[in-house]
Amino acid sequence: MKGKYQKIKKIVEKELVRADTGHDINHVMRVYDLCLELTKGVKNIDLDILKMAVLLHDIAEVKESERTCHAELSAKMAQKILDKLNYSQDRTDKVVHCILTHRYRKGVKPKTKEAKILFDADKLDALGAIGITRAFIWVERHKAKIYTRLSLKEYIKENLAGGKINGRIKDKTKHSPFIEFEIKLKHIPNRLHTQKAKKMAKERLAYMKLFFSRLKKEIKGEI
């Protein structure tokens, strides 16, 4: 990584110095590498737009709150950074679109190839061995649970807004990695856009399924 991309990386790294290890600069670079992998064999990809978008997509992560979405904040910060680099408004808008549409629960669908690839890559980093690792980092950050004995049906009714599977988590301390797997992670392949990402997601999910199956048996003292 050279030139302006290296400069952007350093800016982002400085902004994320207080981020937890699930959303730090290492997450950004994993998603960066996944994006490049997903572009292989795909025609007419604007790599500059994609690289800028992936580097900046989580720059405001540590500024997020219950009332503010980090994607929206990151888009605003990206706008200012790209203005200083003399990007045209058209190209800046394309980067901003990628950033605004990378959230799973936001519900704003990516429309460009670059935005779809960023969305897919970001979601892949929530799956597999790295996904499990990040899930338990989230547990520590929010003082949540390693596991919960509530049934999925009970949990959804009690702790998700509106009693819906895609509802906002009311009390994060009652959440757990297995619940996250059931209500979100295992559904990710159906939300992805590229065939390569879908294939990778299914393989990563198979690993997670085995892990949580084993965890459940150990918790029950069966093995």
pLDDT at site 166: 84
More confident residue, 149 or 130: 130
The 10s digit of each residue's pLDDT in 1-49 is 679 999 999 999 999 999 999 999 999 999 999 999 999 999 999 999 9
In 3-state terms, what secondary structure has residue 218? helix
pLDDT at site 104: 66
**Cβ neighbours for 105, distance < 8 A, ≥ 6 positions apart:** 166, 168, 184
The 10s digit of each residue's pLDDT in 95-106 is 999 999 998 666
pTM of the entire predicted model: 0.93
The 10s digit of each residue's pLDDT in 50-78 is 999 999 999 999 887 666 788 899 999 99
DSSP 113-173: HHHHHHHHHHHHTTSHHHHHHHHHHHHHHHT--S---S-HHHHHHHHBGGG-TTSPBS-GG
> What is residue 108's DSSP assignment?
P
Mean pLDDT of the chain: 93
Q: For residue 207, list its beta bridge partners.
A: none
CA–CA gap between residue 139 and residue 154 (Å, rounded):
20
Domains and CATH numbers, the chain: 3-107 (1.10.472.50), 128-219 (no CATH)
Q: For residue 169, list its beta bridge partners.
A: 160
pLDDT at site 26: 97
